[in-house]
Every structure is written in C-alpha cells, then in structure tokens.
Structure 1
Amino acid sequence: MAEARCAVHEPRVEKLKESEEFKQNIFREWRRSTARRFYRTRYTYTQAGKWGDLVIDPLRKKIHTCDFIGLPNCIRAFITSVIVGFWFFIVLLYFRRYFLRCLLSYRGWMYEQPKTQSISTILWGLSIKLVSGYHPKLYSCQRSLPRMPVPPLQETIGKLLESIKPLYAQNDKKWIAIQKEAEEFQRTIGPQLQWILVFKSWWSPNYVTDWEKYVYLMGRTPTPINSNYYIMDQEHFRPSTHQTARTSSAISQFLKFKQLCDHETLEPLRIRNTVPVCMKQYERMYSTSRVPGEDIDYLVHYDSKHSKHLAVLRKGIIYKMDVYDKFGKLLTAIEIKKQLEWIIKDADIHEDDCSESEKLLPALTGIERADWAKSRSQYFSHGVNKDSLDIVERAIFFVVLDWRSFKSMSERATFLMCGDGQSIWFDKTFTLISFSDGRIGLNCEHSFADAPILAHMAEFNYTNEALKIVQFDDHGNLIPTPEDEQKFFVTKPQRLVWEVTSDLNVVLQSAKTVNLKNKDDLDLCVREHESYGKGFMKSCKVSPDAYIQMALQVTYFKNAGKFALTYESSMTRLYLHGRTETVRSLTTDSVEFVRAFLDKSISHDEKLRLLQKACNRHQGSYRDAMSGRGIDRHLFALYVVSKGMGKESSFLKDALTIPWELSTSQQPQQQFASSPDCSLPQYKNFLCPGGGFGPVSDDGYGVSYMIPGDAKVFFHVSAKKSVKETDATLFMNQLFETLQEMKELFSKK
C-alpha cells in the first residue's frame, strides 16, 4: 500500500519540485540554515575570547525581550513606549545640540546694525531662542557652542603687516626686513605650523588653550600692577557709611551669586539678548587660589564641600570666618555682620600681641613668583604655617577690613590696585577690600578669568543696592529679614596662628619693601567726563568705542609725539572656552585721521570724513576679533606650536615682542538683562566707574574706560612714575582736551 501511495503521488511531487513555490521554499530553508551556521560559528568564535558574550547574547536577548513573552498587552505597550521614548529623547537631545551649534556658527548678524537687521537674521535669532529656550541654565548652551576656527595664515600675516606699517617709514630698513621675514615664514615653516594648528582645533575645545598657561601662569613678575586689576564701587552712592553693614551686605550678595552659579540658575550672558556666550570661566570664580611655582604657577580649585569659610584680615591679623552654620545653611547678612564686628573688636584688642613680622605675611603674594615659591616651600610646607596657609587658600575669597578711607577716586583706586604693601592676598581669585567709610572694592587675580566675569558679580551686588533689594534704614543699618528670625548655629571666627622665624622675618621685610617700591612707582589717575556719553557719540553716527579709540590715538600723539602699537581687549566667548582677542586700534586710517585732525589747514568736512572712515575700520576690526578672525591669538598659537616642535621663528618672535605702549580696554556696564537702564536720571549717581589695570609696557599707558550711559564716561589711566616720558595726569588732561575738540568738530557740522 505504501509503495502504491508513493507511486500515485510521485507525479505530484515532481510537479511540486518544478513549481516556483517549491523553489522559493528551498531557498528560504537554505538561507535559514546558513544563518544558523553563521551564528553558531560566530558564537563559538566569541567564546574563544575575542568577541565575548557582548556580541551575540545581548543581540539574542534583545530579540527575545522585544516579544515580552508572558506579559499582558498593557505592560508590553508601556515598556515599548518607554524604550522608544528614551531613544527619541536621546536623538532629540543630540539633534538640538548640533542644530544649535550650526545656528551659533553664523556670524553675519554681527555685521548688521540691530535696527536694520535683515529678515533672515531675525528668523535666525528667533530660531536660537526657540532651540536654546527663553530661560536657559548657566551651562546649558556650553556643548552647543562652536569651536573657534583657525584663520587663514596668509590673512593673518597680511593683517599683521598692515597693523604695524604706521610704526615704520616706507623705506625703513627694519620694515623691509620684516616684510622679507613674513614672506620667508609663509614659504617655509608657516604652512606646517598652520596645519598642526588646524588639526589641534579639531580635537581641542579651543586651539588657544595654552593662553592661560603661557601668558599668566608662566609670568614670573609680581602679580600686582602687572597682572591683577581692580574694580571700584559706585561713584557717589553709598547705601551705608557703616563699614560692617556695607561689607556684610556685599559678602552676602557675593555668596548668593555663588549659589546661583553652583545651582546653575544664573542664566548665561546673551549678546543682544539672543546669542549665548561661553560661561566656563565662572567655574573657578570662588574657592580658587593661584599657587606659586619656581617655573610656572598653577591654580587650585576647592569643592564647595571643603570651602565654606572666608579669610578675613584686620590690622594684620588673619581670621577664618565660617559663612555657613553647622548644618550647612548660608548665614544672613546680619549674621555675617555680627561675625565681622567680633573680628574688628578682637583684632583691636590683640593688635599689640601680634608681631610686626606676622602682619607682613600677605606681602609674600606680591613679590616675584619664583621667590614666593621658594619661601613657600621652605617656610610653609609643614607645621602650623602649612595649616594656616591651607585655610587661607581654601577660603571662598579674601576680605580686608581696612581702617582707612580715601577722598578721591584716584587714591582709592591706587589702594585697590596694590594696597599698602602688606594687606592684600593677591593669589586669591578676588579680595574684597572694605574701607572705614563704607566704601568697598575688589582686587582681582587675572589668570583664571577675565575682568567681565568678576564685574558681573560686582554688578549683581551694586544693582541690588540700587534697586533696594538690599535694604538699609536711614542710619545705614541693615534691616532684618524673615530669615534673621531663624536660629543659626555659628562658630566664632578663628584667629590663624603663624610661626615666624628670624629667617622668615628677613624674607617678609624684603617682600614689603618690594611691594612698597612697586606701589610708589604706580601713577594712576581716575576721572569722569560729565559732558560726554553714548548719546552724543551715537548721534555722530559712529561706534562709541571707536570714537573713544580715535580720541586716544590723537591724545597719545599729542603726549608722545609718535604713534604706538595699541592694544584693545575684545572677547571671543562666542566660541567654546574663548577668552580674549586683541583689536589693533592703530591703523593707516587712524593715522591719517590723527594727522588731519591736528592740521589746521585741513578742512572741517575732510576731518569728519576721515574720522568716519577710521571709526568704520575700527568697528570692522572689532567684529573680526569677536568672530575669531583676529591676529594675535593666532600668532601666539603658532608660536607655541613652533616651540613645541623645537623650531625657532624669528618672524613670530619679533611680531609678538613689539611693545604695547598704549594698552586699552572698554568695560561692560550692564551684563544683567534685567538691570534698569543706567541712563535714567534717577540712577545718575548709582553708576560704577568700573576698574583699571597697570601699563603693559613700562614706558607706556594703561587706559581703561566705561561708557555707562548717555551722560558720562569714566577713564582710568595708569603709568610708571619712574619713566619720565609718561605722566598719567597729563595724559588724562590731554584726553579731555581732545574729547572737547572732537565734540566741537561735530558741533560745527
């Protein structure tokens, strides 16, 4: 029967084999068997140790878990939606980050006036706000910031030669030699260094990452005047004349600003309230110290868990003052005030008990860095001195309760810059200096961050004082808040103990002598110009910054009888880890304007035309610097690469060693978008003059200025008294004369 059945169905089997369906089934079965053999072979190979269970097992598990065998449909749907939602969130996160980076790479908006922006730029700005959010966190835009591009080598060298051309006569042998060096550099080592720099820009957050190390931390000269700078409080306004009330209020506001940074609730700064900038420099604003080394310094930042106190100096005695109670709660301003009053009382009692040598300890931070490093290693590496020094360096910041006061802004600024030779701890990121009349100010270390960062913190306090968020009564006392009714478990301030040997005493006396010598050599003049402001300069249809820069060019020529290579600081924080760039204000156009302005035979209209031309040129250079198309950071990075390769370049060395005889900087007045307009009449006396710095070149000037509103301009001019050719007061007088002459130039229009 079986053979008969087979014989009956044999024709059908043959037909089935010949059919297309049978062929497809055979092919499908072959593919499955091949896949099984492949996975068996691969799994055996992985078991040998190369791939491991990480290759096949997770894949098989995923296949099986996707079925969720044995689970109800609702649970399977929930798990599937969670998995899909998670991966969708990750994809959306990365898409947002890179899309925002593409948007932020656009720089065309910078070359358009805010009132005449194109439709495409407006749509671009709306897209940024939509993607970044209307209230972003402090560091939420960091990963979306573009990396700073490396400018073309030929473009940088061309701009360099154009900027130094006014310093030399056309047929000067030195100028001809510089041109030849530039051509040789572009033919030989230049392109190789450029390629290395481009490769570095691909993997490094910023190709100028060595700036902090080589420019600041490797500097061996004393930091006061040469590196550190100062910030003043308001020109006329004082919320209180009581020293402890004003100081405790400022300390409380600075600590609240710290909380905003720690919790990342402070919004990032945004240009035109749209474009975010890099906020990395805010990470080390508090609890950071610059530690000296014989060859190079380094920065040490302490976590908030280990830094909950201030170092307070009163009459040469240093105290540790906790600003958090035993349970980690931040003290109120009134509680801080009680601590400061206790310190003042204790210091006045024990002033005579403290040796004169011990009072000189802060002077060590103001001497040559290598000398301070040797003294630190010899006298502060063990015992009680090491413990006390550690407390100072771990402090959130340093506070000086001084017993003096100064009437003029110039005298007060001089003290803020370099103190009395033994009061300021220059290695802390900033020192809050309090005067007996309720005035305050800051001395700031420069390596960790640029001036606008600490100016942002100072503005937070000054704005809250102006808006009376910090409240004082009619007698200048702090008004209690509901928080003051709470109970705080506070420890008393601790007086630091030091062991001063006879050898250390000699070092301290020498350090004070060095500090006083540098202080006495500083020539500083601070003044306001009340008949000028942004309003008038904008009515001249030029950039206010460019207007001031042209006035400085005229003034320097009057003062020195020559032109000087001019440094103006600009930021590059539109890029990740960006800091500053140099705007070279001296140009062939500015030289042409200066000569014409001082030539009485030149017509009035021609002078105006040349001024307009020079200002437009300067504004374009400023925008290029902010856009990563500057000169000096590119040259500096090329020089660092050449040193790393062991190749000398006389062209780069000569280009970077030309002295900046005129170093300038404009300070930001308002960095908080919520701050009131400082041009309003009711805030006229609440304006802060900003701060200043020392001259970069010994035979030059350092000029800092702030244009706070439509009515005033503040100037800080510094020089060295030991150089007979410079005089800060004379330069200031000539500058005011120039500004008046330029104003008359437009009034005759």
Structure 2
Amino acid sequence: MVKVGMPKPCSFVKPCHLVKPVSVTRISGRYLTHQRGLPTLPVPPLQQTCERYLSALEPIVNEEELQQTKTLVDEFQKSGGDGERLQRALEKRAENTDNWLSEWWVQVAYLDYRLPVVVHSSPGLVLPQMNFSDKHGQILFAAKLIAGVLDFKSMIDNETLPVEYMGEKPLCMNQYYQVLSSCRIPGLKRDSIVNHARRSSPPKHITVIHNCQFFVLDVYNNDESPLTVEQLFGHLKHICTSSQHPDPDPVGILTTLDRDSWGKTYQNLIKDKTNSDSVSAIQRSIFTLCLDGAMPRVAEDRSSAAVQMLHGGGSQWNSANRWFDKTLQFIIGEDGTCGANYEHAPAEGPPIVALIDHVVEYTRRSEIGQAPVLTSSAVPQKLHFNVSPEMKKDIDEAKHAMNKLAQDLEMKVVVFEHFGKNIPKTYRMSPDAFIQVALQLAFYRMYQHSCATYESASLRMFRLGRTDTIRSASSASFKFVKAFDNASTQNTEKVELLEKAVRAHKWYTNMAISGQAIDRHLLGLKMLALEERSSVPAIFTDKSYSKALHYRLSTSQVPSKTDCVMCFGPVVSNGYGVCYNPMEDHINFAVSSFNTCNETNAETFAQTVRGALLDMRTLLEQTPKAKL
C-alpha cells in the first residue's frame, strides 16, 4: 500500500489565487453546475500505458528484470488477452460513473490502509513562527484563526468560492466541500468518511482540545452570524481556565492506533452513551482546534514545529491533544508554534493550503476590542468520557505505540536560502522539474542508483479528480545524474543532459495532469481483475511492479502564498518523505526518514539536496551555452 502525496499546480501554468468575491449572496446550484461542466477522467489507451510502463521501469530495474517484464506485458496486451478484456470493462465503468477512479482510490489508498493515519498518511503543515509566547497571545491568535476559517467557510456555504483554473481549464472544486464538518470513522476492516456539511442541519460548533480535554464551542450566534473575535476570545479563555490540568485518561491518543486496533477499541468506546455522544460531537464539528502547551525550546525550531504538526511529539507532549480522525485540525502552541494536521482521505494539499493562506491573511488584518462578559448560556460545553479499565489498557497501549513511532521518525525542515523559483526561470526551466532533478541527483550521490520516485500530479481538471503519479526517475534523469560527477564529461554535455531531464519531467507532468499517466490506469485494471475474482494478471505479481511501487522517494510540491511547508512521513521503511514549497528567492523543504533504517538519514539527504541544487546552478553559470 502506498500513501499518496499532495497534488501540485503544475509548473507550466500560472498559479491560481483565491480572491474573495464582492458578493456573498447564495447562488443555489452554482457548485453543481460547475461540476457538471467538467470533463470526466479518460481511460488511456492500453498499448500506450504498456509502452510507458516499460519506459518508466528502465532506470529502476535491472536488464534481466526488464526483459522478464516485457514478456509479461506482451502477453497481457495481446489480442484477446486479459488486458483487452479488462480495458473494455474499465471503459464501460468510465461511461457509467462521474469518475471511474475516485471511489477506488479513496478506498485503496486510505480507507483500506491499516497503518496509523499519524505519520503514515496524514500530513502536517508548518506555519511561520507567530509573534506570541504566552497563553494570552495563543488564545488571541486562536480566536482570529477561528474567525478566519468561518470567513472562508461562508464562501463554501454560499457557493461563492472562486473557481480555480489551471491555464484556461477550470478545476474541480469538490475537495473544498469535503474538508469542513467531516471525519474519518474507524472500521474493523475498512474505515469510512462522514461529512455533515451539506446536510439539512449542518453543524454550528467546533471542537477545542486543551490539556487533552475536549470542548464543544458553538461559533454562530442565534441569528446565524459568526461569533466575533472578541466573543471567541472570551470562550477560549473560559475553556483554558476550566482545563488547567491534563486529563489522566486522554482518549484522543486512541486515534493514533493502527486502524484495526482502533476499530475494535472504537466499538467498545461508543457502547457507552456518554462516550458515543461525545465522539459524535467531535465527528460532526466543523473542525478541531488544538491548544498545545509550551514546548521545550530547541535550536531547530521549525523541525520541532513540524514534529508537533505531524504527530504531537509523543504522549508526554501533545499526541493526545488531538483527534487524528478529524479531517482538519488547527494546532496552536503557547510558544507561537502554529500549523495544521489533516486526515488525507477527503482532500489533497492545495485546498488545505488555500484555506490556510486565507486564514493567515485574515489573522493579520483582524483586530480585537474589549472581550465581552460571557453569559451562562454561551459557556462552551465539556465533553465527558467514561473510561473503563479495558479502555485504560487501550490508552496505555496507544501511548506506547505512539511514543515508539515518534522516536522512530526523523524530521528535518530546511530553508534553502540561495535561490528559489527565480534561478530555474532565468534558464527557462520549470522550477518544479529543476527541483525534482536535484532530488534525483542527491539520491544518486548517496546510493549510486535511481529509485522509484512518486510526485503527486493533480487530476482536478476532471470531475472528482484526485491524483496520479509523476514518475520523476526517468531515463533522461538517470543519464544526467550518472554524468554529473563524471570528470570526463564536458560541462556542455552535462547542461544538455540537464535540459533533457527537465524536459522529460515536464512532459510527464503534462501527461499526468491530462489523465494519461500509467499508475492509476494500471490500478484500475488490477482492481477490475480483483473484483472479477479471477486470477490477477502476472504483470501485477511481477517483481518489477513491486519495485515500481516501492517509492523510496515520496515527494510533493505544495506551493502557497504563506511562507510555510507541508510535511509527511516516508511511505516505505527505507524511504524519504520530501515536501517542498518553492518561493521566489528560497525553497522550504521538509524531509523525513525512519531512524530504525540504517540506510536513510533525513538530515544527510537534506544537505545532499542542498549541494545538488547549488552544483546545478554553478554548472549553468559556468557553461556559456546555458547563459541567456
């Protein structure tokens, strides 16, 4: 099972920015009309996918494995064979659904995934350090943040959210309507997602967690207007005053368990009516706000902040001050550490980042007056849990497992300050492709071979589109990285190889966002074979297919207006998770690896990427051919 990263607006189109519309009048059906106007996801031609699959394998498998796979692919796509039969069935499915892939993808990539969502699936987002360092500043910023989310929510509720475009192509906006008032529900073998946003009586409250205690905070007045920053400040102050000591039985830590264990524990938890009501209130809430305690100050503030956003630092810190099944959790530390964590099943990164960009801008211009006196009817309600002896045991097991996972993850956030998008653009190169080639060079320098590399490509040009894979390890990139440190290769030749590698990446990106990449097509064919309960074709049990899906580099570009960076864990035990936000004159990187793997080291890889970027720029500067 492979975790998906976050899709990216592609480098060859203008980035899209949300602009709040002048009118917030509800236009009934605008969202649905827009969605119906989008094209459906195509099914690529079988022969095309087979050819491109073999090309993608060339830099990551040996010659013997490649020849074996060619034989299996020829058998698969022969006239009257398994491939043709499954292709026809997939084309028929595409004719009868809004998106032949999306339901399968959410099921396979997320709901059937049984490792903990923490680290393994849910990304974190690290905002710049805020200028407060006490409880008052924390509460004030939190009040502004809530107001900013509600301001963004009004555009979703009124269907006035500006449609995003990729070039001249409108994008699917469905994910924006999935992130608020939604939650993942643990199951015994498969999880599910519940969304309350578009029901007849949508939720009016958020969940606030402080000292591992949960509170329901209604964020709308009786006249349906959102609470003011002043009102929110008063409510949050009341919550913090009434929960000054950590809960000795922190139920939130249970959401860090592997999904099978959590599914069983969940069934026992909700047998009690008080527990069931409390869990339901959390699940229905618009979002969760986690007010964290102060953390120990360390030199690497942004790396430690990333740890807080991704998993909370373990049970002794803030891992229990969460409900990780909640689609969207905003996290605010008393020391000015801020960010978010989101459960990945309903959405990719860009809609989350767009929401957060809006919220950060809102907090900067929001002012607060005199905090009002609360009336008794306005007091936030604490959620109660009856913890049985069996549940205490489950909580202890969850603490132990979470602490082990927290100790295993190495997270390194670095700001590459030497240049950003500006340098690749100077040489008429895609910044994203340039960075991806640098990642290939860094990996090759450390391991002397290429590996299967995942980069997210957005399929939002299509109705209900999610992602496909940009395979950044190409024959062109492999030739470049092999030649780069070879003293006998001339610089002019190295520049030519670099340009070819960048063009190859851009070509694959264009292909992927157009619905013509190979990975989701192959998945669809395999899913049909599984549903038929027939024998799975040999190309899916082949060693090369396993290698192709063993992403030692799982990467994603998630650009934003805010100077932030997303982070996520590796998707394989000996791999790296690499997320980056290219700004105009610098690049924010978050690199992760597992300490239990002797082959990997996040800090070393981050520094190797730094060296690769600098050396590639030097090559361009010193080679006359490359100068414009």
TM over 0.5: yes
Unaligned 5+ segments in structure 2 are: 1-9, 15-28, 624-628
| Paired letter, 1:601 | S
Of 454, 461, 464, 2:359 maps to: 461
Question: TM-score normalised to the size of structure 2?
Answer: 0.89
Q: Partner of 1:434 in structure 2?
A: 332
Q: Partner of 1:65 in structure 2?
A: none
| Paired letter, 2:95 | W
- The alpha carbon displacement at 1:557 in A equals 0.9
Structure 1 residues 245 and 451, CA gap change in structure 2 (3 angstroms): same
Contact 2:230–2:372 (CA under 8 A) maintained in structure 1 = no
CA distance in 2: counterparts of 1:722 and 1:286, whole angstroms: 36
Structure 1 residues 268 and 139, CA gap change in structure 2 (3 angstroms): farther
Q: Please list the CA deviations of residues 508-542 of structure 1 after superposition, one character each: whole Å capped at 9, or x if unmatched.
A: 10011111111111111001111111111111221
Q: Partner of 1:657 in structure 2?
A: 546
Corresponding residue SS for 1:691: strand
Of 85, 96, 100, 1:192 maps to: 85
- The alpha carbon displacement at 1:281 in A equals 1.2
Contact 1:410–1:526 (CA under 8 A) maintained in structure 2 = yes
For residues 620-639 of structure 1, what are the structure 2 equivalents within 5 Å? 620-639=507-526
Corresponding residue SS for 1:320: strand
| Paired letter, 2:67 | I
Corresponding residue SS for 1:629: coil
Q: Please list the CA deviations of residues 610-647 of structure 1 after superposition, one character each: whole Å capped at 9, or x if unmatched.
A: 00011111101000000111110101111111111112
Q: Partner of 1:204 in structure 2?
A: 97
CA distance in 1: counterparts of 2:498 and 2:60, whole angstroms: 20
Corresponding residue SS for 1:166: coil
For residues 18-33 of structure 1, what are the structure 2 equivalents within 5 Å? none
Structure 1 residues 733 and 600, CA gap change in structure 2 (3 angstroms): same
Structure 1 residue 447 corresponds to structure 2 residue 345: yes
Q: Please list the CA deviations of residues 207-243 of structure 1 after superposition, one character each: whole Å capped at 9, or x if unmatched.
A: 1131101111011110011100011113x56489710
- The alpha carbon displacement at 1:598 in A equals 1.4
Q: Which range is displaced more, 715-724 or 640-649?
A: 640-649
CA distance in 2: counterparts of 1:311 and 1:216, whole angstroms: 24
Q: Partner of 2:621 in structure 1?
A: 747
Q: Partner of 2:261 in structure 1?
A: 371
Structure 1 residues 600 and 197, CA gap change in structure 2 (3 angstroms): same
Count of residues in correspondence between the two structures: 581
CA distance in 2: counterparts of 1:257 and 1:309, whole angstroms: 15
Q: Partner of 2:154 in structure 1?
A: 259
CA distance in 2: counterparts of 1:413 and 1:456, whole angstroms: 19
CA distance in 2: counterparts of 1:734 and 1:112, whole angstroms: 27
Corresponding residue SS for 1:617: helix
Structure 1 residues 338 and 230, CA gap change in structure 2 (3 angstroms): same
Of 283, 286, 290, 2:177 maps to: 283
Contact 1:292–1:298 (CA under 8 A) maintained in structure 2 = yes
Structure 1 residues 113 and 498, CA gap change in structure 2 (3 angstroms): closer
| Paired letter, 1:376 | Y
Q: Partner of 2:218 in structure 1?
A: 322
CA distance in 2: counterparts of 1:113 and 1:333, whole angstroms: 38
Structure 1 residue 717 corresponds to structure 2 residue 591: yes
| Paired letter, 2:123 | Y
Q: Please list the CA deviations of residues 574-626 of structure 1 after superposition, one character each: whole Å capped at 9, or x if unmatched.
A: 01111111000111110100011111110010000000011111101000000
Structure 1 residues 589 and 669, CA gap change in structure 2 (3 angstroms): same
Q: Partner of 1:181 in structure 2?
A: 72
| Paired letter, 1:623 | N
Q: Which range is displaced more, 246-255 or 317-326?
A: 317-326
CA distance in 1: counterparts of 2:321 and 2:223, whole angstroms: 32
- The alpha carbon displacement at 1:469 in A equals 2.8
| Paired letter, 1:189 | D
Q: Please list the CA deviations of residues 398-449 of structure 1 after superposition, one character each: whole Å capped at 9, or x if unmatched.
A: 1111112455100010111011332221100011111102332101000011
Q: Partner of 1:400 in structure 2?
A: 290
Unaligned 5+ segments in structure 1 are: 1-109, 115-135, 472-477, 671-686
Q: Which runs of 4+ in 1 moved over 6 A?
A: 110-114, 484-489
| Paired letter, 2:331 | I
Question: TM-score normalised to the size of structure 1?
Answer: 0.75
For residues 39-58 of structure 1, what are the structure 2 equivalents within 5 Å? none
CA distance in 2: counterparts of 1:570 and 1:334, whole angstroms: 42
Structure 1 residue 222 corresponds to structure 2 residue 116: yes
Contact 1:583–1:630 (CA under 8 A) maintained in structure 2 = yes
Corresponding residue SS for 2:59: helix
| Paired letter, 2:69 | I
Q: Partner of 2:388 in structure 1?
A: 501
CA distance in 2: counterparts of 1:246 and 1:463, whole angstroms: 12
Q: Please list the CA deviations of residues 451-482 of structure 1 after superposition, one character each: whole Å capped at 9, or x if unmatched.
A: 111111101112334xx4323xxxxxx357xx
Structure 1 residues 295 and 111, CA gap change in structure 2 (3 angstroms): closer
Corresponding residue SS for 1:528: strand
For residues 158-177 of structure 1, what are the structure 2 equivalents within 5 Å? 158-170=51-63, 172=64, 174-177=65-68
CA distance in 2: counterparts of 1:521 and 1:221, whole angstroms: 15
Structure 1 residues 113 and 609, CA gap change in structure 2 (3 angstroms): farther
Contact 2:12–2:430 (CA under 8 A) maintained in structure 1 = no
Q: Please list the CA deviations of residues 693-738 of structure 1 after superposition, one character each: whole Å capped at 9, or x if unmatched.
A: 11111101111111122x1111110110100100000001111111
Contact 1:325–1:491 (CA under 8 A) maintained in structure 2 = no
Contact 1:229–1:692 (CA under 8 A) maintained in structure 2 = yes
For residues 116-127 of structure 1, what are the structure 2 equivalents within 5 Å? none
- The alpha carbon displacement at 1:488 in A equals 9.1
CA distance in 2: counterparts of 1:224 and 1:657, whole angstroms: 24
Contact 1:324–1:490 (CA under 8 A) maintained in structure 2 = no
Structure 1 residue 694 corresponds to structure 2 residue 569: yes
Corresponding residue SS for 1:541: coil
| Paired letter, 1:742 | M
Task: Report the structure, 1 or 2, having the larger helix content.
Answer: 1
CA distance in 2: counterparts of 1:293 and 1:238, whole angstroms: 41
Q: Partner of 2:626 in structure 1?
A: none
Higher RCO (CA < 8 A, seq sep 6+): 2
Structure 1 residues 159 and 389, CA gap change in structure 2 (3 angstroms): same
Contact 1:325–1:488 (CA under 8 A) maintained in structure 2 = no
Contact 2:213–2:382 (CA under 8 A) maintained in structure 1 = yes
Q: Partner of 1:338 in structure 2?
A: 234
Q: Please list the CA deviations of residues 173-211 of structure 1 after superposition, one character each: whole Å capped at 9, or x if unmatched.
A: x22211111111112200000011111111211111311
For residues 322-721 of structure 1, what are the structure 2 equivalents within 5 Å? 322-348=218-244, 351=245, 354=247, 356-357=248-249, 360-405=250-295, 408-419=301-312, 420=314, 421-465=319-363, 468-471=364-367, 478-479=368-369, 491-647=378-534, 648-654=536-542, 656-658=545-547, 659-670=550-561, 687-709=562-584, 711-721=585-595
CA distance in 1: counterparts of 2:286 and 2:142, whole angstroms: 15
Q: Which range is displaced more, 406-415 or 144-153?
A: 406-415
- The alpha carbon displacement at 1:370 in A equals 1.2
- The alpha carbon displacement at 1:168 in A equals 2.6
| Paired letter, 1:652 | F
| Paired letter, 1:566 | T
CA distance in 2: counterparts of 1:530 and 1:618, whole angstroms: 24
- The alpha carbon displacement at 1:371 in A equals 1.0
Corresponding residue SS for 1:500: coil
Structure 1 residues 264 and 485, CA gap change in structure 2 (3 angstroms): farther
Q: Which range is displaced more, 608-617 or 296-305?
A: 296-305
Q: Partner of 2:612 in structure 1?
A: 738
- The alpha carbon displacement at 1:306 in A equals 4.4
| Paired letter, 1:289 | C
Structure 1 residues 724 and 739, CA gap change in structure 2 (3 angstroms): same
CA distance in 2: counterparts of 1:498 and 1:589, whole angstroms: 58
Contact 1:294–1:373 (CA under 8 A) maintained in structure 2 = yes
